[in-house]
Amino acid sequence: MDRAIKKMAAIKVFMHDNEKHLNEIRLTSDDWDILQKAHTFLQPFASATLYAEGDKSSISQSLLIMDSLLVHYEQQKIHYSKDENEDLRMVRSIEMGWFVLEKYYNMTDQVPVYASAILLNPASRAAYLKKNWPAEWYEPAINAAQNFWVNEFKDALPLASPTASQQMAPPLKQRGAVLDQILQQMSVAAADQSNSDDLKIFAESPVIQIDCSPLEWWCRSEQRQRYPRLSNMAISILSIAAESSEPERTFSG
């Protein structure tokens, strides 16, 4: 389609010069019109495909891409439904494409990793869902991600243990038994971290812009130390590619 648009003038000359041989198989002005409109309409899809095929792409992009394409469908349908731009061919094509995309979009509800990936992306979190989804969509999605976190990761062992230097504190100087007893009575019990809801806290925190992929951000030591179990969940989910193209290229040599 790109080449046809770029070579439109040359193709028209060729068809004119060979009119007798081509007969009814020539492209008409209506054909060129729909070809140009389709070419313009499909630009975001080409960009989305390249974006999802990137070597740093992950499942955290999947719903964001699909959301943006659904918005594109809606905007273009409105555009071609207006009197000054009316084109029922485009409207019908958009409706058919919208139906197919929505079919696959709805399938993401069956797997909590898609919404979880958005919640675990520091640049989107729950704020993205609340801005772009109606409440009847984002509330079940957040609840499904929460259940996934509790059932699979909340009580699991962290991916990496603290380093030896973190585990071994310098020994205290010898203290007398009486002083030890008094200090013990005055000591404050450590908070029970096992009951803290790291996913909810993280997802509801303000979004931040990052200079790397969400997976790279979670692999950094500061995140793994601050959220030892949540980072386990994040790394497990964000390691999933948005599509299979890049893994296939990697493993096919």
Convert the pLDDT of each residue in 193-205 to its tens digit. 445 689 999 999 9
In a domain, residue 21? The reply is no
Residue 222 has pLDDT above 90, yes or no: yes
pLDDT confidence band for 169 (50 / 70 / 90): very low
Give dist(CA 135, CA 167) in Å, integer: 44
Please give the tally of structural domains in the chain: 1
How high is the pLDDT of residue 87?
Answer: 96
For residue 39, being part of any structural domain is answered with yes
Average pLDDT of the chain is: 85
Which whole-number Å values give the CA distances from 77 to 73, 83, 92, 122, in the listed order?
6, 12, 9, 33
Q: Which two tokens stand for residue 177?
A: 């038994």
Kindly report the pTM of this predicted structure: 0.76
User: How confident is the model at residue 157, as a pLDDT?
Assistant: 74
Q: In which band, very low, low, confident or very high, does the pLDDT at 52 lie, cut at 50, 70 and 90?
A: confident
The whole domain housing 58 covers: 30-158+197-244
Min mean pLDDT across 49-63, 100-114, 235-249 is at 235-249
Predicted confidence at residue 20, as pLDDT, reads 81
Inside any domain, residue 95 = yes
Residue at 182 is within a domain: no
Q: CA 238 to CA 243: how far, in whole Å?
A: 12
Token couple for 228: 């030892």
Domain membership flag for residue 133: yes
Q: Give the separation between CA 83 and CA 62, rounded to whole angstroms.
A: 35
Other residues' Cβ atoms within 10 Å of the Cβ of residue 44: 17
* 25 falls within a domain: no
In a domain, 3, yes or no: no
Contact between 141 and 133 (Cβ < 8 Å): yes
> Stretch 212-228: mean pLDDT, rounded?
94
pLDDT score at 51: 87
Q: What percent of the chain has pLDDT over 70?
A: 81
- Phi, psi for 49 (deg, rounded to 5): -65, -45
Lowest mean pLDDT among 67-76, 116-125, 241-250: 241-250
- pLDDT for position 161: 45
Confirm whether 227 is domain-assigned.
yes
Using the predicted structure, report yes or no on whether residue 162 has a pLDDT greater than 80.
no
Q: How distant, in Å, are the alpha carbons of 56, 114, 164, 214 from that of 234?
A: 15, 12, 24, 9
Q: What is the pLDDT of residue 164?
A: 40
d(CA 26, CA 11): 10
